[in-house]
Structure 1
Amino acid sequence: MPKDHKKKKVETDSSSDSGPDDVEPPSKKPKSNATGSKKNEEEPVWELEKKRFVKVREFKGKVFVDIREYYEADGELKPGKKGISLSTTQWHKLKDIVDEVDEVVKAKC
């Protein structure tokens, strides 16, 4: 067997865990308005729970819904690898099945 230690990078159209890192992560204590979004001119942010956020953002001219866990380093919150960036098509598909998923969750709880 040849000793080829190079790993092939597999290209997929899934953006799970491979979304781009944010240049400007949310502040440590995001302030929410009545709609649950942080006042941010560039990227709206919603906090799901401690250090987990939803952002609507643009990357390379495309809009994504980014659901990501952040970590603290040097007193700042930085985006981690745990998360997913959904394209607008994926986001709309997710919204379409929310009721079905919710019923399964209720049945299992």
Structure 2
Amino acid sequence: MPKSKEFISSSESDSEDDKPKAKKKKTEKPKPAEKPKPSSSKGKDGEEMFQLSKMRYVTVSEFRGKCFVNIREYYESDGEMKPGKKGIALNAEQWTRLKEQMEEIDAKLKSMQ
């Protein structure tokens, strides 16, 4: 048995069926931009957590008698999700102002892409 990995061709295997067929490359059609479905889960304190990305969530909570919308990065420690330092807490007035400006922000974002 030869030790080399040379391909030995025989005159008997020259038919079309024996030749490897070239694979056709798939041409992917551009998919329309799909909006990710909002997913939510319950946090440690029972508050609803809306996921923006792998470790970034939005929560609505109360602190010292005031309501806040928190957009925050989380980290995992001892198998538990904990809020990190990176984030922002918007009070109700700031959240309303952000929502009012959403169309202008979207337009600016689209113009930059």
Looking at structure 1, the residues matched to 38 and 110 of structure 2 have their Cα atoms a distance apart, in angstroms, of: 26
Q: CA deviation at 1:77?
A: 1.3
Residue matched to 2:65: 61
Looking at structure 2, the residues matched to 100 and 53 of structure 1 have their Cα atoms a distance apart, in angstroms, of: 23
Residue matched to 2:40: 37
Looking at structure 2, the residues matched to 46 and 87 of structure 1 have their Cα atoms a distance apart, in angstroms, of: 17
Q: 1:104 aligns with which of 91, 105, 108?
A: 108
**Bigger Rg, structure 1 or 2:** 2
Tell me the TM-score normalised to structure 1 length: 0.63
Q: Unaligned stretches of 5+ in structure 1?
A: 1-33
Q: Unaligned stretches of 5+ in structure 2?
A: 1-36
Tell me the TM-score normalised to structure 2 length: 0.60
Higher relative contact order (CA 8 A, sep 6+): 1
What is the count of residue pairs matched by the alignment? 76
**Secondary structure of 2:106's partner?**
helix
Looking at structure 2, the residues matched to 95 and 56 of structure 1 have their Cα atoms a distance apart, in angstroms, of: 15
Percent of aligned pairs with the same residue? Answer: 50
